[in-house]
C-alpha cells in the first residue's frame, strides 16, 4: 500500500478550503501576492508556527463584521445582543472541545503565551515563596520557561528542569526526583515544538498531585492535532492558540478548574471584568469574564469557535493519524538521505514535525535554499534556546505538517534538502 493510500481523509478536498495553497512564491517578498515572476509552487511546512485558515473560518469572521459588528456585554440594542451571544457561545464550543465543564473554565486570551503569563502572575506572584519550587522540563518553549523563570526571580521560588534523555524523551526518574513536597506547580509542554516528543502528561500530573502540586499543560502543539480531554489528562490548567489550528491570530484559550480560577485575583483590570465600582473599591464579574478585561477579541473568538468546528468535523483522531504518517515518512526519507541529523524520538513516536540539520550547512542557509525551492520551513531555535544548547547546536530547521500537507510535499522537502547538501558539499 502506498503512503498516499494511507491518508485518513481526502487531502485534496481539504486543500480546496485553503486558497493560499494555490499560490506560487518567489516574487518580491515585501509585496504580498507579487508572485507572478516565479512559477514555484508553495509547499507550506511551517504549521507548528502558524497554520492556514480555511474558508469556513474566514466566512465566520467576515459574517461578524458584515452582519452584527458590535461590542459585547455593553449594549441592549440588537447588534450587541447578537455579538454577545456569538461570543459567549464561542466559549461554550471551546469548552466542549477540550472536555471542560463549561464556559466558566475557558478564558479567551491572545495566545498560549498570555495564558501562561495570566496564571504565573495571577496565581504565582500570590502563592509562591522562597521555600517553593516550580518544575519545568528542558524542552519548554520560552513562553513557559521565561515566564516561570522571571516569576521565580520575583518570588524567590526555585525553578527546576526535568532533564531530556538522548532520545529526546523526558527522564522520568529525574522527574520523580525534581517533583517533591515543595513543588507548587508543574508546568510542562505536551508536545515539544522542537523535538516532537509527546510527553506523558497524565502520568506526570498524577505524580505532581501526589505532592499537592498544580499542573499546567502547554498544549499549543497538541490540541490542534489530537483528541484532548482535560479531565483525562487531569491537569489544573491548559493553554493553546487558535492560529495553530486553522483559526485566526490574536486568540487563544486558557482552561482552568473553576474552583481555582474563582479563587484567583484578576491579572488585568478595567472595563468588562467588573461587577461594581466605587471610588474606594471594586468587585469582579463572574467567570470567565473577570479575566477578560477591556473589549475582547470578538471576531477572533467567533473565528476560533469556527476553527474548532472545522477540525472537529475532520476528526482529531484522523488529524493525528495524518500528521503521524507524514512525520514518520519525512523522518525516514531524511534519514535515508544521509548527512542529516534529526532531533527527537523515532518517526512513529513523535508529533507532526521534524527538526533537523544538514552537515556543513547552517540552518538559516538551509532554510533560505528551501525557500528558493518554494518550501516554507522555520529555521532558528524555535523559542527553545536552552534545549538547543543541550543539543549542542545554535539552530535547526523544522518542517511541520498539518491536515492539508501531502506526501508529495514531503518529497519536495527532501529534494530541496538534497540540493542544499550537494551545493555545500
- Give the residue numbers marked as catalytic: 383
- List 106's β-bridge partners, or say none: 255
Whole-angstrom distance, CA of residue 342 vs CA of residue 334: 8
Rounded to 5°, the CA angle 142-133-111 comes to: 30
Burial level of 80, CB count in 10 A (0-12/13-18/19+)?
middle
Q: Which of 181, 178, 201 is nearest to 189 (CA)?
A: 201
Whole-angstrom distance, CA of residue 160 vs CA of residue 178: 7
Q: Which residues contact 279 (CB under 8 A, 6 or more apart)?
A: none
Containing 115, the helix (H) or strand (E) segment is helix 112-119
Omega of the bond leading into 288 within 30 degrees of 0 (cis): yes
Whole-angstrom distance, CA of residue 408 vs CA of residue 391: 30
Q: Which of 258, 186, 194 is nearest to 220 (CA)?
A: 194
Q: Which residues contact 424 (CB under 8 A, 6 or more apart)?
A: 358, 360, 361, 365
Please provide the distance, in angstroms rounded to a whole number, between the alpha carbons at the two ends of the chain.
35
Burial level of 172, CB count in 10 A (0-12/13-18/19+)?
middle
Give all strands (DSSP E) within 371-420, no chain letters.
Answer: 375-376, 378-380, 396-400
Q: Which residues contact 31 (CB under 8 A, 6 or more apart)?
A: none
Strand, helix or coil for residue 159: strand
Q: Take residue 119 and report the three cell numbers written for it.
A: 496564571
| Alpha helix segments (H runs only) across 282-315 | 298-314
Q: What phi and psi values does residue 248 have, to the nearest 5 degrees? A: -75, 165
Number of neighbours of residue 196 by Cβ within 10 angstroms: 29
Q: Take residue 190 and report the three cell numbers written for it.
A: 505536551
Amino acid at each position: 500500500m502506498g503512503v498516499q493510500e494511507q491518508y485518513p481523509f481526502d487531502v485534496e478536498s481539504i486543500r480546496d478550503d485553503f486558497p493560499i495553497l494555490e499560490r506560487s512564491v518567489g516574487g518580491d517578498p515585501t509585496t504580498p501576492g507579487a508572485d507572478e515572476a516565479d512559477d514555484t509552487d508553495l509547499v507550506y511546512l511551517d504549521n507548528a508556527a502558524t497554520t492556514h485558515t480555511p474558508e469556513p473560518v474566514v466566512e465566520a469572521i467576515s459574517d461578524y463584521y458584515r452582519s452584527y459588528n458590535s461590542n459585547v456585554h455593553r449594549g441592549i440594542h440588537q447588534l450587541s445582543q447578537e455579538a454577545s451571544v456569538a461570543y459567549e457561545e464561542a466559549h461554550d464550543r471551546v469548552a466542549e472541545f477540550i472536555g471542560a465543564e463549561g464556559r466558566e473554565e475557558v478564558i479567551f486570551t491572545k495566545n498560549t503565551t498570555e495564558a501562561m503569563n495570566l496564571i504565573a502572575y495571577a496565581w504565582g506572584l500570590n502563592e509562591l515563596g522562597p521555600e517553593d519550587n516550580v518544575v519545568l522540563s528542558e524542552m519548554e518553549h520560552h513562553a513557559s520557561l521565561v515566564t516561570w523563570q522571571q516569576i521565580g526571580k520575583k518570588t524567590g521560588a526555585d525553578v527546576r528542569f526535568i532533564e531530556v534523555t538522548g532520545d529526546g524523551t523526558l527522564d522520568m526518574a529525574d522527574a520523580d526526583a525534581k517533583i517533591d513536597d515543595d513543588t507548587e506547580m508543574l508546568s510542562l509542554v505536551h508536545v515539544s515544538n522542537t523535538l516532537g516528543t509527546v510527553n506523558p502528561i497524565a502520568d506526570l500530573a498524577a505524580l505532581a498531585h501526589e505532592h499537592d502540586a498544580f499542573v499546567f499543560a502547554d498544549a499549543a502543539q497538541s490540541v490542534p492535532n489530537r483528541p484532548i480531554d482535560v479531565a483525562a489528562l487531569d491537569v489544573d490548567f491548559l493553554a493553546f492558540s487558535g492560529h495553530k489550528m486553522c483559526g485566526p491570530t490574536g486568540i487563544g484559550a486558557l482552561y482552568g478548574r473553576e474552583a481555582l480560577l474563582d479563587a484567583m485575583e484578576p491579572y488585568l483590570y478595567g472595563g468588562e471584568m467588573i461587577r461594581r465600582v466605587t471610588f474606594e473599591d471594586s468587585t469582579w464579574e463572574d467567570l470567565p469574564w473577570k479575566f477578560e478585561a477591556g473589549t475582547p477579541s470578538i471576531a477572533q473568538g467567533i473565528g476560533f469557535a469556527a476553527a474548532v468546528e472545522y477540525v472537529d468535523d475532520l476528526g482529531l483522531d484522523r488529524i493525528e493519524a495524518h500528521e503521524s504518517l507524514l512525520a514518520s515518512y519525512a523522518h525516514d526519507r531524511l534519514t535515508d538521505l544521509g548527512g542529516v541529523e534529526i532531533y527527537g524520538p523515532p518517526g512513529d513516536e513523535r508529533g507532526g514535525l521534524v527538526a533537523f540539520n544538514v552537515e556543513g550547512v547552517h540552518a538559516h542557509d538551509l532554510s533560505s535554499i528551501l525557500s528558493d525551492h518554494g518550501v516554507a520551513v522555520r529555521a532558528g531555535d524555535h523559542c527553545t534556546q536552552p534545549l538547543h544548547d543541550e543539543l549542542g547546536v545554535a539552530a535547526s530547521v523544522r518542517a511541520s505538517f498539518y491536515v492539508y500537507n501531502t506526501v508529495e510535499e514531503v518529497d519536495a522537502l527532501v529534494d530541496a534538502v538534497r540540493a542544499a547538501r550537494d551545493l555545500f558539499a
